[in-house]
Amino acid sequence: MASPYPQGDREKVASKLPPALRQALKVRAAELGLDIQDAVTAAVTDWRANAQNMPPVETAGAESFSTWLPTGLYDDFKDTCGTRNVSFIQGLAQSVHRWLDLNPSPQQGSSPETDPERKVVCNQKGGVGKTAVAAGMAQAYAEAGKRVLLVDYDPQGHLSEQLGIPQIQPGQDSLVSHMCGEGRGDLRELVMAIEDSRFEKRLHLLPACYDGFLLDPRIAVIATQKRGFQKETALELALRPLEADYDVIVIDCPPSLGIAMDAALYYGRRRRNERGGRSGVVIPVLAEDSSATAYGMLAQQITDLCDDLSLDVDYLGLVVNLYDSRRGYVATSSLAEWRKLGDPPVLAVIGDLKEQRETVRKRRPLLSYAPHSDQAEAMRTIAKGASR
């Protein structure tokens, strides 16, 4: 069935595609910066011209799929299906399958071992120490000789503030503008080196921006206006140009379960041919019941995202933060429950120590301010454990 396109040069086409094939098309088009309608136009045109005697594509469970094609192309496509004695659904599936093979993901162009390790520090509960853990991990990697980019992805900007770097003002070029496809310059120009001899210019920060508070609604609107735009790929598309400069990228996430979190989780997924445990999520928690509830909500979001997009997101480990056994049974029993999980493992238990509060006041990196403290050693342990 076809209906006129408003401009008259295209028509809306309704057919069916298997869910997995439709999702792969959506992701690949987003990775290549294409509208889905243009990708399908190329797929159908190529299939009609070149793809003789293709093996059948499994179409069981195919669901409704619609797009816009140049006027007349769908009729030509149906004629070709008749000539080749295949159904319209099978012909479209073959077209998309062949297009995916001919247009590989940009990720396949690089070795997964030369891509940076991507550590996403997240928990939708605030006050669990995400910023402290993200900063400490990044400092530990830089201290060990790796080139590290620390991304302040939280619009509250605590990480930038703690390191003495101002947030980016509204309306300026920022990570958010690049995620929304509105970047005006090179994102590298916004990256700041943390000037400290301990890290020898290996530790860099991409500052937060106040516009980040509007990220979820902005991306949601763009997704409805721009065909082929996939919300979950926004962070990766913005950071990809920087990746060659770093060995590790650490993302300090906001306390959220929204679109921004989906984009961060997608960025931390296991890429094609990447070994398990190299990239993924590090989750700071507290030894209390509300933290267990928040963890369950985040775990469900990860499961749903992985199921929807056929991803693998590795749990690199938990960090039990601000622990004080003097708080009694709730604290000690909660710690025991976290350890009992086994997978993900508890990478470290960090006490409620003064060094972190002092380093925030001093606007200095923890591993520089108190390199021999218990908290600094815990950060080194976390970094080592999160790079299996």
Which homologous superfamily is 110-385 in?
Answer: P-loop containing nucleotide triphosphate hydrolases (3.40.50.300)
Instruction: Convert the pLDDT of each residue in 371-384 to its tens digit.
Output: 999 999 999 999 99
Separation of alpha carbons 355 and 369, rounded Å:
8
**Unique residue bearing structure tokens 């429950």:** 337
Instruction: Convert the pLDDT of each residue in 3-62 to its tens digit.
Output: 333 444 788 888 999 888 888 898 888 888 788 888 999 899 888 887 677 778 888 888
Separation of alpha carbons 388 and 373, rounded Å:
24
User: What pLDDT, on the 0 to 100 scale, is given for residue 228?
Assistant: 64
Give, for 294, the enclosing helix (H) or strand (E): helix 289-309
User: What pLDDT, on the 0 to 100 scale, is given for residue 1?
Assistant: 34
Instruction: Convert the pLDDT of each residue in 319-370 to its tens digit.
Output: 988 877 777 777 788 888 878 888 899 899 988 888 888 888 888 898 988 8
Contact status, residue 194 vs residue 163, Cβ threshold 8 Å: yes
Instruction: Convert the pLDDT of each residue in 211-231 to its tens digit.
Output: 888 888 888 888 777 766 778
317 has which bridge partners? 282
pLDDT confidence tier of residue 2, bands split at 50, 70 and 90:
very low
Separation of alpha carbons 366 and 168, rounded Å:
23
User: What pLDDT, on the 0 to 100 scale, is given for residue 380?
Assistant: 93
Supply the mean pLDDT for the chain.
86
Domain extents for the chain?
2-104, 110-385
Question: What pTM, to 2 d.p., does this model score?
Answer: 0.71
User: What pLDDT, on the 0 to 100 scale, is given for residue 215?
Assistant: 87
User: What pLDDT, on the 0 to 100 scale, is given for residue 270?
Assistant: 93
Closest CA relative to residue 386, chosen from 249, 200, 236: 249
pLDDT confidence tier of residue 316, bands split at 50, 70 and 90:
very high
